[in-house]
Amino acid sequence: MATIHPTAVVHPTAELADDVVIGPYTIVGAHVRIDAGTTLGAHVIIEEHTHIGRNNLIYHGAVLGAPPQDRKFKHEPSCLKIGDGNWIREYVTIHRASGEGQATLIGDQNFLMAYVHIGHNCRVGSHVVMANSVGVSGHCEIGDGANIGGMVGIHQFTRIGKLAMVGGMSRIVRDVPPFMIVEGSPAEVRGVNTVGLRRAGVPQPTRDALRLACRWMFRSEMNLTQAIEKIRAELNMSDELHELLEFIQQIRQGRNGRALDRPARK
């Protein structure tokens, strides 16, 4: 049977695994499901239609599954789904989705530091780190292994690619390519996240090819069309390079209205 502090309030329709721990003054709403091994600290609020997976550690003051900050929201049924092994620190807020049957999705093994906000309809992968006070607007996508520095603001409908790294206090108003380091206001590509790639087990030849691709696409006199042609012609096409080029191509085709292409310098 779950361990529930006497001051906590748990709705009778909530489903709790036997070893769930609910801290003092915590509120668990209707139709919530919390799986085995998850611990909720003090003053946590879990609102309706939220599913929290296994072995999550949720610190005091977090609010998960609150209604979206969306004027179009009419209290239609939607949900928040959180995976396994996440570390959710103090006063994190994650909103459920806007739109009937829609979901905000959080993967596994993420580390969300204090005061992180993740808006409605976002999709966050696994092994993502968000430092203190990161703000993620609605409908954003955060790829696996991304690392986002403190006080970063991310515009709605923006994507952060796999294993990308975003410098603290950056303003993200367009998609961040996978495997890259970006920083600034607005943010610009500064280089390749070689440390993150090495930790993820990406081999040295692939890391070297990504460095060349970054130089040709973002630091040379070539425009993106020319750079992509050179990459395809001269580099061994690893899975990572394929993913990078596919991501860039989606941006160039006008996804979210934020084209990244630029003319060649003269």
Q: Strands 87-88, 15-16: parallel, antiparallel or unpaired by DSSP?
A: unpaired
Per-residue pLDDT tens over the stretch 33-54: 999 999 999 999 999 999 999 9
For residue 212, pLDDT beyond 90? yes
- Measured distance between the N- and C-terminal CA atoms of the chain, rounded to whole angstroms: 71
pTM of the complete model: 0.94
pLDDT band at 266 (very low <50, low <70, confident <90, very high): very low
From its phi and psi, is residue 193 left (phi > 0), alpha (psi between -120 and 50) or beta?
beta
Per-residue pLDDT tens over the stretch 12-37: 999 999 999 999 999 999 999 999 99
Is domain 3-193 in CATH 2.160.10.10, yes or no? yes
Distance, CA of 137 to CA of 121 (rounded, Å)? 9
Distance, CA of 14 to CA of 27 (rounded, Å)? 11
Domain extents for the chain? 3-193, 199-257
The residue with tokens 């780190």 is 129
Q: Answer whether 62's CB lies under 8 Å from 80's CB.
A: no
Provide the CATH number for the domain formed by 199-257 in this structure.
1.20.1180
Cα 230 off chain centre by: 31
CA contacts within 13 A on the Cβ side of 139: 11
For residue 255, pLDDT beyond 70? no
Per-residue pLDDT tens over the stretch 67-118: 999 999 999 999 999 999 999 999 999 999 999 999 999 999 999 999 999 9
Residue 80: strand, helix, or coil:
strand
